[in-house]
Chains A and B, each alone.
Chain A
């Protein structure tokens, strides 16, 4: 019975996506309530899935399995929830619900937006749960198409341009993935992930079709993940999209593509394939290393806040790809933690940037000058999340990076020079991350015009009001400024910051939770 939750997690948001359009002509603002009810119920579904997988123990060795239409394994499409997919499902549900709190105030408005939003959620659930290579392509496309639409949701010229850029690049990525799946299908005659595991082994890991298929899949997904040379769509898309949209796509869209790469690498092609193809793993490590380095450098050079964190994502996803290619247990654990942790951190950071933009009109690093005076709590949460991104303990950011770096050093101990390079590059990248986060902290707390002698707080808020017509001269108190920062979204931000710190203590728990998964994979 428990497997019924899997199709529900996908079908419920997709069916709910029709409702805002259906009732739209009659009720003007029906979109948000429908989306809220749906995402809250998704949180419930995700929690039940996680409970079954982690607490009660999954019913089969592969996790919860649901065969669509009752068709058996090699032929039918399966939905599968194991430890990894269950945790991603929880992340998707939480972020989808959390973003709604912000989008209610910040927009974009309109029933059509919420239809797209729910479809995106359904597609992300599908990526997390599907056990079929072609079905994964379908869900990647659903996520892609809805993301293109949502990026352009505020109908400005700049966002339309960013969206079409993303559309062109994303379509190439999806096509390459599909060609890769085609090669694999040609060699094996199967599309089911669990079945392919055995079939690929039979065909042989050195088979040119299998190798080419994997290479094409990696390149296609790298376009979606935005690894360095293939990242060109990503900064524009993140910067130009409406704030609420950036929050959700930065947290989930590339994350789900990275999940897909991890899933395909380990469940379909398996670690033996990586071991048998040094050329492919070394190429992946090289690309990942360059991505880590260049992403950090470019991030440190940015002046726009959203663009800065967009480039930072390029670097962080480089680490995740490196963890996948390193193929040892420690690095893979780090990759999983960083995949989830980075999603959470970017959700919080972009939410904070969105709130700062909403409340104070802040868009650039320089705009942050002395803002901590007027918005102490908001700035505090922002800085905590930024430090977590650097990897200052205790934080989820540290855990992920630590395990990846440790895995790289372990691999380097085995004589793998590329892994040594990854470890070095990660250290350099962390320094760059510290550099740009420190720049933000410096602006927030130490830069800007000194309001002069006297009562600093009230004169500051009365004097410098670069934006906001209603300058409310309140003494500083976090949530009383030009435009009130919405309390609900602020609470979500604080909770995310606390979780990001709290999970920093959960290293051993994570090792326990994902232990069975790692045992099966490696």
Chain B
């Protein structure tokens, strides 16, 4: 508990009158801020609270809620993805919702624990695999003597329908999900992670995403 000149709110500064942070000896004589000033005797003033060293704490409420909500959110993400071709939605939005599920789980159960389960290989695999599927579907038409992304030339039943669905579901959605999760892990890891080959990989993934997903608007 220090005298925290910056953390004190302007209300306290007003209460202290002219005694700003400049009056250093004055501050040391008396208690810096009245603990009860927040208006609640039972709650300490914000400046009295020690910052937690680890931002993450297990909360039974949050963990239980996330456990219940996560399957529904993921299902909604998949729904949006699968219906993208003929209703509002699509790979972009669906992938983002699916990634949000992972983010939610990470917030509830701890980021490190989530990283162990949702490994770098999965993150990179989603992004890279999505790009390759997209490019592959596009190139089939080209190889067959047509134009790039000419779905009609795909050797499958209902090629135009399933070709477009394939790009949305197997291409764009995994890229978006992989990149969002990767960027989240990267931000959570902080900047000082000098040796992280994995984190750099994810930076590149971020760009990979925009390359191909926006490619087909």
Q: A7-B148, A14-B135, A138-B217 are in contact. Are A115 and B204 (CB under 8 A)?
A: yes
**For window 11-37 of chain A, which residues contact chain B by CB distance below 8 Å?**
11, 14-15, 17-18, 20-22, 24-25
Report the bound CA distance from A18 to B175 in whole Å.
12
Report the bound CA distance from A24 to B149 in whole Å.
28
From A21, A67, A123, A141, residue with most partner B Cβ within 10 Å: A21
Residues 169-208 of chain B: 1 if any A CB is under 8 Å from the residue's CB, otherwise 0?
A: 0000000000000000000000100100100110111111
**Would you call A17 and B208 a contact (CB within 8 A)?**
yes
Q: Which residues of chain B come closer than 8 Å to A15, judged between CB atoms? A: 131-132, 135
Q: A17-B211, A68-B149, A142-B207 are in contact. Are A112 and B201 (CB under 8 A)?
A: yes
**Would you call A18 and B210 a contact (CB within 8 A)?**
no
**Would you call A69 and B207 a contact (CB within 8 A)?**
no
From B132, B146, B191, B204, residue with most partner A Cβ within 10 Å: B204
Quote the shortest CB–CB distance from A60 to chain B (angstroms).
Answer: 15
A213 at the interface (CB under 8 A from B): no
**Would you call B149 and A145 a contact (CB within 8 A)?**
no
Q: Which residues of chain A come closer than 8 Å to B201, judged between CB atoms? A: 21, 24, 111-112
Quote the shortest CB–CB distance from B208 to chain A (angstroms).
Answer: 6
Q: A135-B217, A141-B214, A160-B191 are in contact. Are A112 and B147 (CB under 8 A)?
A: no
Report the bound CA distance from A470 to B206 in whole Å.
40
Q: Choose from B128, B152, B214 the contact partner of A138 (Cβ within 8 Å).
A: B214
Q: Which residues of chain B come closer than 8 Å to A123, judged between CB atoms? A: 211
Q: Choose from A3, A7, A119 the contact partner of B208 (Cβ within 8 Å).
A: A119
- Give the contact stretch, choosing among B4-12, B43-51, B57-65, B136-144: B136-144
| Chain A residue at smallest Cβ distance from B209 | A145
Report the bound CA distance from A442 to B217 in whole Å.
53
**Would you call A68 and B131 a contact (CB within 8 A)?**
no
Q: Which residues of chain A come closer than 8 Å to B131, judged between CB atoms? A: 14-15, 17-18
**Would you call B124 and A21 a contact (CB within 8 A)?**
yes
A63 at the interface (CB under 8 A from B): no
Quote the shortest CB–CB distance from A474 to chain B (angstroms).
Answer: 35
Q: Choose from A25, A68, A116, A160 the contact partner of B148 (Cβ within 8 Å).
A: A68
A134 at the interface (CB under 8 A from B): yes
Q: Which residues of chain B come closer than 8 Å to A135, judged between CB atoms? A: 217
Q: Choose from B148, B152, B203, B215 the contact partner of A112 (Cβ within 8 Å).
A: B203
Report the bound CA distance from A432 to B138 in whole Å.
51
Q: A21-B201, A115-B207 are in contact. Are A138 and B215 (CB under 8 A)?
A: yes
Chain B interface mostly helix, strand, loop or mixed? helix
Q: Choose from A67, A115, A142, A155 the contact partner of B210 (Cβ within 8 Å).
A: A142
Q: Choose from A18, A115, A142 the contact partner of B214 (Cβ within 8 Å).
A: A142
Q: A17-B211, A110-B200, A146-B207 are in contact. Are A69 and B217 (CB under 8 A)?
A: no
**Would you call A7 and B128 a contact (CB within 8 A)?**
no
Q: Choose from A4, A11, A138, A149 the contact partner of B207 (Cβ within 8 Å).
A: A149
**Would you call B150 and A4 a contact (CB within 8 A)?**
no
**Would you call A112 and B204 a contact (CB within 8 A)?**
yes
B81 at the interface (CB under 8 A from A): no
**For window 138-176 of chain A, which residues contact chain B by CB distance below 8 Å?**
138, 141-142, 145-146, 149, 155, 160
Q: A21-B124, A134-B217, A149-B203 are in contact. Are A14 and B147 (CB under 8 A)?
A: no
**Would you call A115 and B150 a contact (CB within 8 A)?**
no
Q: Which residues of chain B come closer than 8 Å to A17, judged between CB atoms? A: 131, 204, 208, 211
Q: Which residues of chain A come closer than 8 Å to B215, judged between CB atoms? A: 14, 138
Q: Which residues of chain B come closer than 8 Å to A111, judged between CB atoms? A: 201, 204
A122 at the interface (CB under 8 A from B): yes
Q: Choose from A3, A7, A122, A134 the contact partner of B211 (Cβ within 8 Å).
A: A122
Residues 166-202 of chain A: 1 if any B CB is under 8 Å from the residue's CB, otherwise 0?
A: 0000000000000000000000000000000000000
B93 at the interface (CB under 8 A from A): no
Q: Which residues of chain A come closer than 8 Å to B210, judged between CB atoms? A: 141-142, 145
User: 3 nearest interchain CB pairs?
Assistant: A7-B148, A112-B204, A115-B204
Extra A-B contacts (4), CB below 8 Å, given A17-B131, A17-B208, A138-B217:
A17-B211, A69-B141, A135-B217, A149-B206
Residues of chain A having any CB pair with chain B under 8 Å: 3-4, 7-8, 11, 14-15, 17-18, 20-22, 24-25, 66-70, 110-113, 115-116, 119, 122-123, 134-135, 138, 141-142, 145-146, 149, 155, 160
18 pairs from A and B in contact (CB 8 Å cutoff): A7-B148, A11-B138, A18-B132, A21-B128, A21-B208, A25-B121, A68-B147, A69-B148, A70-B146, A110-B197, A112-B200, A112-B203, A112-B204, A116-B203, A141-B214, A142-B211, A145-B207, A149-B204
